[in-house]
Copies of this chain bind each other. A is one copy, B any other.
Amino acid sequence: MPTPAPNPHLPFGDQRGAPWYGKDILSVRQFNREDLEYIFAVSHEMRTMVERVGTFDLLKGKILANLFYEPSTRTSSSFTAAMERLGGSVIPINEVKYSSVTKGETLADTVRTLECYADVVVLRHPETGSAAIAAKAARKPVINAGDGTGEHPTQALLDALTIREELGHLDGLTITMLGDLKYGRTVHSLARLSSLYKVKLNYVSPDLLRMPAEIISELKASKMEQTEHSSLDPVLAETDVLYVTRVQKERFENEADYEKVKGAYVIDKATMKSAKQRMIVMHPLPRVTEISMDFDEDPRAAYFRQMEYGLYVRMALLAMVLGKA
């Protein structure tokens, strides 16, 4: 939404002076530290309200077009719940593959059509850069819910919010990222967001799946402390946030290589004995075997609470871009 057209008919109460009104949410790179603090504050308010009253009518009468070109139950449900908990409505569009799109319509045209019906568009698309294309075409705000290997900014924000809500702050923390650090979109985005804070990052992965060199140098430029390891042992004790991702068998050329390393990247009750008592374990979910279910009831297991913070962040963003926060 390059230039929001002023609308003389806007209902009383729409805060057009609000700094986020009409903005697109496309990339974690668009935020500075002050932005994050604002998003955290609004998200926390959302949490308080949900816990107190469940739902409220801040976005009553607003409509979200939830446009998913590939399935993602978790993200789609989270945006739906966020809109509904704010009293708004949702147009779910999941079967894009069967629709007019297959008749050759461009993404720009699809988005320009949908914004005739809705007040805000959430887009999930398999191709990198799609969200920017949609935002350019649309007059209404577009929120990127993941576009290919590109960005998934609301995931990164919910990860950061989880740390903030669970541990109170980000400055001074040691975050250890474990597993597949090469292909994991979530760890890349969280690493980038962390660079807005004074954080130490440990990367623990099989050699094949190390954090990409360009991210390491990008963060080195902003003076972040970073270390790399092939085992969790040397860094677990100092870790405040352990961010676990899945090591997929398919990433390895032969199964033997995979079998050799896989055990090193599994978290269970026993492993966690040497970790601090006040720290958290996170995971973007779905989890398969990389975190043992026997750890689920440990208070440090934050991965399901993490899903809940996703709800609050998305409520905050919807309210912000619709001028209501």
Contacts and interface: CB of A to CB of B under 8 A. Distances in A.
A31 interface: no
The 3 closest A-B pairs by CB, nearest first: A55-B61, A81-B117, A105-B286
Contacts of A103: 286, 288
B62 A54 contact: yes
Given A77-B91, A78-B117, A105-B288, 4 more contacts: A55-B63, A71-B98, A73-B95, A74-B100
Given A55-B63, A286-B105, A72 B84 contact: no
A101 B287 CA distance: 10
Contact of A73 (B54, B74, B96, B308): B96
A156 to B, nearest CB: 18
Interface string A90-102: 0111111011110
A95 B93 contact: no
Q: Count copies of this chain in the complex.
A: 3
A260 interface: no
Interface stretch (A106-114, A122-130, A192-200, A205-213): A106-114
A104 B288 contact: yes
A235 interface: no
Interface of A: 7, 9, 11, 51-56, 60-63, 65, 71-74, 77-78, 80-81, 84-85, 89, 91-96, 98-101, 103-105, 108-110, 112-114, 116-119, 285-288, 293, 304-305, 307-308, 310-311
A54 B304 contact: no
Nearest to A68: B95
A70 to B, nearest CB: 8
B285 A109 contact: yes
A51 B304 CA distance: 41
26 contacts: A9-B51, A11-B52, A11-B53, A53-B61, A54-B61, A54-B62, A55-B61, A63-B81, A71-B98, A71-B99, A73-B96, A77-B91, A77-B114, A78-B117, A80-B117, A81-B91, A81-B117, A81-B118, A84-B91, A100-B285, A104-B286, A105-B285, A105-B287, A109-B287, A112-B304, A113-B304
